[in-house]
Amino acid sequence: MSKKAIILLSGGLDSSTVLAIARAEGYECYALTINYRQRHNAELVAARNIANFFEVKDFKIVDIDLSWLKSSALTNKNISIPENPSIGIPVTYVPARNTIMMTLALAWAETIKSQNIFIGVNSVDYSGYPDCRPEYIESFQNMANLATKSAVEGNKIKIHTPLIEMTKAEIILKGIKNQVDYKMTVSCYQATENGLACGKCDSCRLRIEGFESAKIEDPTNYKT
């Protein structure tokens, strides 16, 4: 029997690559998408398409309204998405976002008796979010292994971060090797309902630079 893994799948470039990697490593994949009322739904559609493409065992969208977190441009529609590089941690930062997502993955993992959670965090080409750093991931894993009945019974959780040391270009090359069609993925913070990217936000900028650096033609659909 293959090992089960929960894959946090946003529908973006990084998490889609992570799903492809987990699948290539022989895991039985359970994809988890968190709908926290982010600004657009295009990434939820992308997540479902990618989950289907990679024939996951199960795909779940969990709804949680985070619109009361007024400080983030991703959850508060009254804050504009910046279209120039930010200094410090940008306004797209969502308080405790990765902790919320990994905790829901942890709950699902325990329910299906999985000991593996995959998340596409990256500490190289990232936006300065504190919950993307290796020391944070390690402390989450330590906490998770005290939090659950499974862990108490000896079935420890491992948080897999296959992209953590990779550049965006390396991620893209790894994904292409593992059958990711990046045209299906949506990274833009302000994509249209149809998944057209702005080409200007932090997330678009990192993605564009990644394709350029990898010398791969960028398949993204941009607003013209």
DSSP 3: P
Cβ pair 1, 113 in contact under 8 A: no
Q: Binder to its own copies among 79, 143, 176, 196 (CB under 8 A)?
A: 143
222 forms part of the interface with its own copies (CB under 8 A)? no
107 forms part of the interface with its own copies (CB under 8 A)? yes
Would you state the torsion angle of the CA atoms of residues 18, 103, 157, 124, taken in this order, to the nearest 10 degrees? 40
158 forms part of the interface with its own copies (CB under 8 A)? no
Residues near its own copies (CB under 8 A), total: 42
| Closest by Cα among 165, 160, 143, 129 to 6 | 160
Minimum separation from the CB atom of position 159 to its own copies (A): 11
86 forms part of the interface with its own copies (CB under 8 A)? no
Q: Binder to its own copies among 44, 79, 151, 196 (CB under 8 A)?
A: 151
DSSP 107: H
DSSP-based three-state secondary structure for 156: coil
Minimum separation from the CB atom of position 177 to its own copies (A): 32
Q: Binder to its own copies among 68, 154, 215, 224 (CB under 8 A)?
A: 68
First CA to last CA across the chain, in angstroms?
48
Separation of alpha carbons 150 and 153, rounded Å: 5
Q: Kindly list the distances between the CA atom of residue 218 and the CA atoms of 18, 167, 172, in Å, as whole numbers in the listed order.
A: 19, 16, 10
Q: Binder to its own copies among 30, 54, 59, 93 (CB under 8 A)?
A: 93
Of residues 162-201, those binding its own copies (CB under 8 A): none
Binding site for its own copies (CB under 8 A): 60, 62-66, 68-71, 89, 93-100, 103-104, 106-108, 110-111, 130-131, 133, 135-136, 139-140, 142-144, 146-149, 151-152
